[in-house]
Amino acid sequence: MTHPTPPTMHQQSSLRERAQTLIRVKGAGFNMAKDASVALRVLFDLASSPDTAVDAITLLHELQVHQVELDLQNEELQSSRAELEAASERQLQLLEASPSAQLVLDPQHRVLECNAHAMACLKQTLATCTGQALTQWLTPEQAQGAQVWLSQAQCSTTAVSMALVLRVPGQADRRVCAAARANPLESGVLLAWVDMPPP
């Protein structure tokens, strides 16, 4: 089976001009996006004329190829989206299962996000801890030093460590080793901690 030879740039321009002329003559106010049947009729008229039949067939072939390309691109986009969603879900599951408490703080050191372990340590839900300052769970003696530490971490691309004592009502004080660094995606701090081993 032979395929039509791709038209030259001049032929494409000429065909486009003739098609546009026919569209103006046969379809006043023609809108290709709204009326595909008019476009097919114009293409049929071009194919019916000996002077434009070859160009019309070539144009039809190009349109078919372009449609197949669009279909393939759509399939690839759908596949990529599914892969990204699966990867995002996997990362979320890993974050939630992490043995360390992990929090995202805003520039004022208030909680924006946290994982399940952090909520368990603070005896909070995401709704109740979001927007709360980290210092409210620290001993008064540590609060000021922790603010300085978090401000330093906010300017650092490497982790800055500090021992913290978490104070949660109704619970024994919890000694943790915390590390913080600047959030690379937006202003604020990434914070993580693990329990210190018992003395």
- Clarify whether residues 85 and 132 are in a common domain: no
Answer with the one of 42, 71, 92 that is the final residue of a domain.
92
User: Is the residue at 3 inside a domain?
Assistant: no
User: Is the residue at 1 inside a domain?
Assistant: no
Binning pLDDT at 50, 70 and 90, where does residue 29 land? very low
- Clarify whether residues 61 and 127 are in a common domain: no
Binning pLDDT at 50, 70 and 90, where does residue 26 land? low
Looking up residue 157, the CATH number of its domain turns out to be: 3.30.450.20
Reported as a single tens digit per residue, the pLDDT across 155-176 is: 988 999 999 999 998 889 999 9
- Clarify whether residues 21 and 103 are in a common domain: no
Asked if residue 66 has pLDDT above 50, the reply is yes
Number of other CB atoms surrounding residue 143 within 10 Å: 14
The total domain count for the chain is: 2
More confident residue, 194 or 33: 194
How high is the pLDDT of residue 57? 77
User: Is the residue at 37 inside a domain?
Assistant: yes
Report if pTM > 0.75. no
The secondary element (H helix, E strand) that includes residue 192 is strand 189-195
How high is the pLDDT of residue 147? 93
Answer with the one of 71, 92, 113 that is the final residue of a domain.
92
- Clarify whether residues 86 and 109 are in a common domain: no
Asked if residue 14 has pLDDT above 70, the reply is no
- Clarify whether residues 119 and 134 are in a common domain: yes
Of the candidates 161, 152, 171, which has an alpha carbon nearest to the alpha carbon of residue 196? 161
Question: What is the domain extent for residue 147?
Answer: 98-195
For residue 16, CA distances in Å to 8, 31, 40, 198 come to: 12, 15, 14, 81
- Clarify whether residues 79 and 104 are in a common domain: no
How high is the pLDDT of residue 28? 44
**Across all residues in the chain, what is the average pLDDT?**
82
Answer with the one of 52, 72, 92 that is the final residue of a domain.
92
Tell me what the mean pLDDT of segment 103-107 comes to: 96
Binning pLDDT at 50, 70 and 90, where does residue 109 land? very high
**Alpha-helical runs (H) found in 27-52:** 36-48
- Clarify whether residues 16 and 55 are in a common domain: yes
Contacts of 128 (CB under 8 A, 6+ apart): none
- Clarify whether residues 47 and 103 are in a common domain: no
Both structure tokens of 46: 């071009």
Contacts of 46 (CB under 8 A, 6+ apart): 15, 18, 19, 22, 52, 53, 55, 56, 59
- Clarify whether residues 42 and 58 are in a common domain: yes
How high is the pLDDT of residue 21? 60
